[in-house]
Amino acid sequence: MRALLAAFMLLLAGCAALAPGADERAEVSAIVARAVAAARAPATKQQSALRQAHEAYRSERSVVNRLRLATLLAALPAPLQDDGAAYALLRPVVGGHGESPLQDFAALLAGQVAGRLRLARESEQAAREREQAAREHERSMRTAELREQALREQQRTLREQLDALKAIERGIVEREEKLRRKRR
């Protein structure tokens, strides 16, 4: 009976090892664990982990190496983080959902990275719009200042002309008074 039970347990263990995607699930777990460990590590170890992932991907362009590198590029803090490169690495892996744990993980990570890239683009667009609005405001302020200056100049010119007309009028009035006095 014990032998039968032991054989049954071995059979179950063998079936579990042969279960579809078991190796890939283990790889996904290992990739995530390494990325978390690297993200928590000091900067020198982060750089080393990223360099090792780059070297592994260069030597063998497998899906697992692609995911390792993409996960590190997405998970590490700036300046090591590179969402654009991570997304470019993930795009070829993303396939139908449910086909394999690696593809599912790649789809999840690609979605997260794509979201961050979209937010970054929107943030850059908003910053450009703010800069443009600031330039337009500055331009309108300069235009308003120039108009105000032109109005002050026009006002000064009109005041001078008015003073000149008053002086002419006084001169005429004085001449008329002199002529009246002479007649008397």
Alpha helices (runs of H) in 41-100, residue ranges in sequence order = 43-59, 63-75, 83-90
**pLDDT (tens digit, 9 = 90+) per residue, 49-76?**
999 999 999 999 999 999 999 999 999 9
Closest CA to 45 of 83, 85, 77, 86: 77
In this prediction, residues 33-46 reach a mean pLDDT of 94
**pLDDT (tens digit, 9 = 90+) per residue, 77-131?**
999 999 999 999 999 888 655 578 999 999 999 999 999 999 999 999 999 999 9
* pLDDT for the residue numbered 96: 59
Name the 3-class secondary structure at 174: helix
Percent of the chain predicted with pLDDT > 70? 86
pTM: 0.65
Average pLDDT for the chain: 87
